[in-house]
Amino acid sequence: MRLIIDPLGDGHHDLFLKIDVMPSQLKIADSYYLFDFLEIGQEEIKVITQQKMTPIAYGTLRLIDYWESRIWAMTKGQTLFLLFDLSDQYVGGFRVTKVKYGYQFEEVFSEQTTGYAVNKSTLDSVLPLTLLQTGKNSSSRWLISEEKLREGLNWSKKEILNKNP
């Protein structure tokens, strides 16, 4: 699983999540509400810009850190929501369950909240797992080993840092 930034993006359709399973999947999301979700304020963005890192690179790195803090703290059998897609009409992402051989990912969404109405501090209380739905025409589920998950997220961080020193 690798997160890639479209450097020419403008906050819409500029985050690409490549899931290297059979068949390979590509999920696209907006970064528009990412800073609000991650609780990154204008002052923090100003400092990052002065350090010559693009705000989208910084936000994406922080998103990966957020994902890792949630995923690596999981115990076998535990399930959580890993947010990826922050839209005006819904939020989307993955229901993740830690299993014996890694992590079971299932693509889910909820229209019970929107991208601008949720942040990392309130996500679990605003959007309990029971409100998550799978797509009507999709049964997107993947098993990803811990090793491959770590490898993909580490690759993503290195690529972002290489392009935004």
pLDDT tens for each residue of 60-87: 999 999 999 999 999 999 999 999 999 9
* Region 34-63 average pLDDT: 95
**CA–CA separation, 52 vs 125, rounded Å?**
36
Neighbouring-strand partners of residue 81: 95
Its domain, for residue 128, covers 2-163
Residue 23 has pLDDT above 90, yes or no: no
DSSP state of 58: H
pTM: 0.94
CATH number at residue 73: 3.30.2450
Angle subtended at Cα 38 by Cα 146 and Cα 140, rounded to the nearest 5 degrees: 45
Question: What confidence tens digit (pLDDT) does each residue in 108-164 have?
Answer: 999 999 999 999 999 999 999 989 999 766 668 899 999 999 999 999 999 999 987
CA atoms within 13 A on the CB side of 16: 12
For residues 68-91, b (16+ Cβ closer than 10 Å) or e, as one string? eebbeeeeeeeebbbbbbbbeeeb
Residue 165 has pLDDT above 80, yes or no: no
Per-residue pLDDT band at 4 (split at 50, 70, 90): very high
Counted domains in the chain: 1
